[in-house]
């Protein structure tokens, strides 16, 4: 890399060479559409890296995300569209426009004030026919539900306290118990999940993160079950339901080691 090149200039040059005739056949074949699934996958890997507090892993995953941005910008620029600098300039302008309390004369004393100002400016700059149009349908379902609820709550369509949300969950659970058909049960389960997300939002926590935490806890305990079964010279698929319950109860009693 020439001494005058910044790291981002060097990356842009590398991607340009990969896409040029005689470059990498795989990179040359890519389109924004073919890269899209990788963006989603890498986003989850980045979140996991952040949770690990391992800076090297975080750098690795951030670099993958940055590569996707540079690659898509290069592909579109090749057909006469925008380039990476246009993306960066747009980002800078957007941050300045949406932070008038930092770069302008407006004030915002709380993060809620900031979020409200952000939504107002977004609405003025990118008006939609309906207020929920800017929430992507491709989001994971729990995250999608939470964003929908947060958006409508901003105009007052919300329970005044968590009590209403809890009562709604209880109501939906009763409807599930009384559901006469599988289709009715499926619909009520969806309503229950939506209600649980609403409770999480009222508690200012992420339903997606809470479920991920529960998933990790289950995996950890199930691995302990496997270990306990091996100590009894058994594989889990050889155990009776009673033995599985016993091993599960024993696994629950094992305290996890504190994180350094």
* Angle value at C-alpha 218, between 215 and 223, nearest 5 degrees: 125
7-82 and 128-205 share one CATH topology? Answer: yes
> What are the tens digits of pLDDT across the range 19-59?
999 999 999 999 999 999 999 889 989 988 998 999 999 99
CA-to-CA distance for 81 and 35, rounded, in angstroms?
Answer: 18
* Per-residue pLDDT, 260: 45
* Per-residue pLDDT, 256: 67
Q: Which residues of the chain have pLDDT under 70?
A: 1-4, 125-128, 256-260
Contact 195, 168 (CB under 8 A): yes
* Per-residue pLDDT, 28: 97
Q: What topology is assigned to 7-82 in CATH?
A: Helix Hairpins (1.10.287)
179, with CB counted inside 10 A (0-12, 13-18, 19+), is middle
Alpha carbon 173 to its chain centroid, in Å, reads: 27
Contact 168, 159 (CB under 8 A): yes
Class at the top of the CATH hierarchy for domain 128-205: mainly alpha
> What are the tens digits of pLDDT across the range 95-119?
998 899 999 998 988 988 888 887 7
Question: Measured over all CA atoms, what is the biggest interatomic distance in the chain, rounded to whole angstroms?
Answer: 72
Domain boundaries defined on the chain? 7-82, 128-205, 209-253
Entry pTM: 0.65
Contact 151, 198 (CB under 8 A): no
């Amino acid at each position: 890399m020439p001494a005058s090149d910044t790291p981002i200039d060097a990356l842009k040059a590398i991607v340009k060479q990969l896409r040029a005739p005689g470059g990498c056949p795989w990179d040359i074949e890519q389109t924004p559409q073919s890269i899209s699934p990788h963006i989603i996958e890498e986003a989850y890997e980045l979140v996991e890296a952040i949770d690990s507090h391992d800076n090297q892993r975080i750098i690795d995953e951030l670099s993958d995300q940055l590569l996707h941005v540079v690659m898509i910008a290069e592909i579109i620029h090749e057909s006469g569209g925008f380039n990476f600098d246009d993306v960066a300039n747009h980002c800078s302008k957007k941050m300045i426009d949406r932070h008038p309390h930092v770069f302008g004369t407006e004030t915002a004393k709380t993060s809620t004030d900031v979020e409200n100002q952000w939504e107002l400016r977004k609405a003025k700059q990118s008006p939609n026919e309906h207020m929920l149009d800017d929430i992507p349908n491709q989001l994971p379902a729990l995250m999608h539900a939470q964003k929908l609820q947060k958006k409508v709550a901003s105009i007052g369509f919300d329970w005044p306290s968590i009590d209403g949300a809890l009562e709604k969950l209880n109501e939906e659970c009763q409807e599930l118990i009384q559901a006469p058909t599988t289709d009715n049960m499926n619909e009520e389960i969806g309503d229950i999940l939506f209600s649980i997300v609403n409770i999480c939002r009222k508690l200012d926590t992420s339903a997606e993160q809470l479920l991920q935490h529960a998933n990790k806890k289950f995996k950890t305990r199930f691995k302990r079950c496997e270990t306990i079964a091996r100590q009894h010279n058994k594989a889990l698929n050889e155990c009776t339901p009673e033995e599985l319950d016993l091993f599960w109860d024993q696994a629950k009693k094992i305290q996890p080691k504190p994180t350094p």
